[in-house]
Amino acid sequence: MYSNLDELVTEQRNSETTYIDRVPTIKMLRMINCEDRKVAGAVARVLEPLAKAVDQISERLQNGGRMVYCGAGTSGRLGILDAAECPPTYGVDPDLVIGIIAGGAPAVFRTQEGAEDSETLCVEDLKKVHFNSKDTLVGIAASGRTPYVIGGMKYALSLGALTVSISCNPNSEMSRLAEISIAPVVGPEAVTGSTRMKAGTAQKMILNMLSTGVMIRLGKVYENLMIDLKANNEKLMERARRIVMEATSADYETACSVLAENRYNVRLSILRQLTGVDDRTAEKLIEKNRGNLSAAISAVKR
């Protein structure tokens, strides 16, 4: 076990922070910040496999599939966080992007010792959400060797589902199993082995880009505006108004009026405001263009 850990980049000692416990607080924080600045560069080097994942996952989602994140500890919590934010941001069904974690719901708040060491537990969790061949499993683990995630990936492969791995060690078992491996090498942590730091930051950045990229490909974004948000409180209603104003150059009163007329459907409101079509025509255009608002607008203007 010791020799195995010694092979992991994320478990090595960082020569830049050897004396982090002996320096003034401001210097300690500068050391950590210096290490953090390396993360974006590491993520930039894995954009090609990330783009491949976005394209393949969005295609599967368009054909009835779902995206399921699985992980343990920090990695599992990051997956759950990303999944939980998709419905309010993009108006998707809560079952479209799902996060599962070793140890279940209690592990979100407190580590469940031993749960991550079982390959069968992830299989059980995937069966609970009726994981199938149309779906995508995104396995997340800094080490790239967490048994819980590996068990889930093996199960997903046996079903013919798409498998994607996000780890911070090259040539890991997860990377070898996955059809698409995303492995930013962020280097040793400021505090040896504390992968909630740089590795966690890299994973968060990748998950942000993965889900955002997928939602853009699904037509949930017009220009750089979210057009499927659910305006179910005053803050989000106000955001919807601002989005319509930005997209159409309408004034505040007009934005309020068109949104009210279209039941606060931002996508429909923008299309009708920009093209002048009636609601029935607008709905048909959106359906014909698979929700892509730019394409729907272009179809009217041709």
Q: What is the CATH number of the domain that holds 240?
A: 1.10.8.1080
Reading the block at residue 249, the tokens are: 């150059």
Residues 266 and 124 in one domain: no
Residues 176 and 271 in one domain: no
| 174 assigned to some structural domain | yes
Is the Cβ–Cβ distance between 54 and 217 less than 8 Å?
yes
Number of domains in the chain: 2
* Domain end point (choices 164, 184, 217): 217
| 41 assigned to some structural domain | yes
Q: Tell me the residue ranges of DSSP E strands in the chain.
A: 67-71, 97-101, 136-140, 162-166, 180-182, 221-222, 225-226
The predicted model scores a pTM of: 0.91
Distance (Å, whole) CA 124 – CA 71? 14
Predicted confidence at residue 205, as pLDDT, reads 97
pLDDT (tens, 9 = 90+) of the chain, 302 residues, equals 434 666 788 888 888 899 999 999 999 999 999 999 999 999 999 999 999 999 999 999 999 999 999 999 999 999 999 999 999 889 899 999 999 999 999 999 988 778 898 999 999 999 999 999 999 999 999 999 999 999 999 999 999 999 999 999 988 999 999 999 999 999 999 999 899 999 999 999 999 999 999 999 999 999 999 999 888 899 999 999 999 999 999 999 999 999 999 999 999 999 999 999 998 999 999 989 988 899 999 998 76
Catalytic residue numbers? 85, 116
Reading the block at residue 246, the tokens are: 């930005």
Look up the domain containing 243 and give its range.
221-301
